[in-house]
Amino acid sequence: MFAKILIANRGEIAVRILRACRTLGVEAVVAYSEADRDSLAVQLADEAICIGPADAKRSYLSAPAVISAAIVTGCDAIHPGYGFLSEDEGFAEVVRAHQLTFIGPPPQVLERFASKEATRRLLGAQGLATIPGSNGMLRDDLHALEEAERIGYPVLIKPSAGGGGKGMRMVRTPRELESAVKICRSEARAAFGDDSLYLEKWLEDNRHVEVQVAVDRFGHGVHLGERDCSVQRRHQKFLEEAPTPALGEAARAELAERAIKAVVAAGYENVGTLEFLVDGSGNAYFIEINCRIQVEHPVTEMLTGIDLVVAQIRIAAGEPLGFSQADVTLRGHAIEFRINAEDVEHDFRPSTGLVERYLAPGGPGVRVDSHLFTGYEVPPFYDSLLGKLIVWGPDRPAAIARALAALDELVIDGVVTNVKIHQALLRNETFLAGQMTTNLVDRVGAGAFLAAGAR
């Protein structure tokens, strides 16, 4: 096991990783930007070190700053969290060159799975059905038009790098395609420094279902069931649950088993998530793999009782998984609500400001992963995630009932949040029937959800 871990992230995930380190009895150092000087992670940390100014490019995204901080504080490993440097194989490589361990897949594994388009082919060869898409990256407009014609409209333009819905556009006509490719290229370049794009067949009314896996260095892999992340707005997930209401028990088990078999065969290592689109008939198509801990990992932790961040650290340290598939039992139903500093009534505009009062809900089956506290100033420089409310119940209706009570209990004064959209969803018939599709909120409009929820 590591002696000391540098946490190179912020917000709720920095706190989450710190807690995992404490569980393991490993010392931790929180690396922070000037804007996060007063953050909860820094306050809770045994040791913290300022790595740069508010601008993430010079702090959380700066490989030299992060690695230098690890070295001067005597750390032997770096946990990148999610976002920032978490899936940057170049960073993982430099970390290793400095005799430090990157907590995640080893650099050569990250590299193998770095291109989404190549990964689709790699796992397709291991027996996973993949979504029809372009052969390779889009070279130019003409190539894009030809490929879209071959696949058939509508198509989804996707960047090869990154995630979080940036640089993604669905188009229905050749004319739309040309202008959208330009926009996606510039968005992808700005967000990930890489403007390679590819095309995927757009499935109308699809569901987003993902399988959590954990594979150790010795090739022992288990799946930890799936999560449904179909509740999205502009390709951004904001509510996740497990099990997925989209598939029956046998279909879920089969999907998870195929997923773990394929990634083990492809040489994956550490925790990861395979994302699938599920069509109306229950066919699942692999789209991409996330080689990191995900925002929604607590949903799986609630069902399995397995600490995924601890597992991630152990695997990176070279330890065997320590449990087998037979030890993984999926109990009950869990739902995660991303609490964002967003004004749902004004086009989800990000909000900032001073948290004048914060009260977290509690009770059986209620978990809150957040970096908020009364008096915290939400800085304007980073994403809008304020925390996550996760509820567990023996079944979906029980989890929903607990969620309604917990959302009512939650108090965040001073900063506008998206709690209203969650409350509206929990009263929405389509959601209650377990029939949300990824395009629904955008198609109907968030406003309509809110108005219906207010009745």
Partner 1 sequence: MPDRKESARLADHAQIEGLADDLLPALIAKLGASGLAELEVREGDWKVRLRRPTDGGSSTTRSATGRAAARAAQAHADHAHGDHGQVDHGGSEQAGSETATNPYRTAATSPAVGVYHPKAEVTSGSRVRAGDRIGSVDVLGIPQEVVAPVNGIVGAAMVESGDAVEYGQELVWIELIATTAERSGRDA
Residues identified as active-site: 292
Q: How far is the CB of 381 from partner 1 (least distance, A)?
A: 15
**Strands 4-7, 27-33: parallel, antiparallel or unpaired by DSSP?**
parallel
Residue with Cβ nearer partner 1 (8 or 247): 8
Q: What's the rounded Cα separation, in Å, for the pair 136 and 117?
A: 6
Phi, psi at residue 256, to the nearest 5°? -65, -40
| Burial tier of 329 (Cβ tally within 10 Å: 0-12, 13-18, 19+) | exposed
Q: How far is the CB of 44 from partner 1 (least distance, A)?
A: 7
Q: What's the rounded Cα separation, in Å, for the pair 71 and 77?
A: 10
Q: Which two tokens stand for residue 265?
A: 């065969």
Give the torsion through C-alpha atoms of 343, 348, 353, 356, to 10 deg: 40
Which residues are CB-neighbours of 218 under 8 A, at least 6 positions away? Answer: 320
Name the β-bridge partners of 156: 170, 200
**Site residues (CB under 8 A) for partner 1?**
34, 42-53, 59, 64-65, 67-69, 71-73, 98
Residue with Cβ nearer partner 1 (21 or 260): 21
Q: How far is the CB of 48 from partner 1 (least distance, A)?
A: 5
Q: Which two tokens stand for residue 80?
A: 């990148």
Residue with Cβ nearer partner 1 (22 or 443): 22
Q: How far is the CB of 31 from partner 1 (least distance, A)?
A: 8
Residue with Cβ nearer partner 1 (55 or 146): 55
Residue with Cβ nearer partner 1 (95 or 180): 95
Write out the H or E segment, with its range, that includes residue 333: strand 333-340
Q: What's the rounded Cα separation, in Å, for the pair 26 and 318?
A: 15
Q: How far is the CB of 77 from partner 1 (least distance, A)?
A: 17
Q: What's the rounded Cα separation, in Å, for the pair 157 and 139?
A: 13
With contact defined as beta carbons under 8 Å apart, do 296 and 240 qualify?
yes
3-state secondary structure 93-143: HHHHHCCCEECCCCHHHHHHCCCHHHHHHHHHCCCCCECCECCCCCCCHHH
C-alpha 138: how far from its chain's center? 26
Q: How far is the CB of 150 from partner 1 (least distance, A)?
A: 47
Write out the H or E segment, with its range, that includes residue 296: none
HSE toward the beta carbon, residue 388, CA cutoff 13 A: 23
Residue with Cβ nearer partner 1 (52 or 221): 52
Q: How far is the CB of 73 from partner 1 (least distance, A)?
A: 7
Q: How far is the CB of 452 from partner 1 (least distance, A)?
A: 46
Residue with Cβ nearer partner 1 (65 or 246): 65
**Strands 197-201, 169-171: parallel, antiparallel or unpaired by DSSP?**
unpaired
C-alpha 290: how far from its chain's center? 8
Q: How far is CA 434 from CA 228, 230, 332, 336, 425, in A?
A: 10, 10, 15, 15, 11
Which residues are CB-neighbours of 18 under 8 A, at least 6 positions away? Answer: 7, 28, 30, 41, 44, 45
Q: How far is the CB of 55 from partner 1 (least distance, A)?
A: 12
Residue with Cβ nearer partner 1 (67 or 289): 67
Residue with Cβ nearer partner 1 (38 or 254): 38
Q: What's the rounded Cα separation, in Å, for the pair 389 and 373?
A: 15
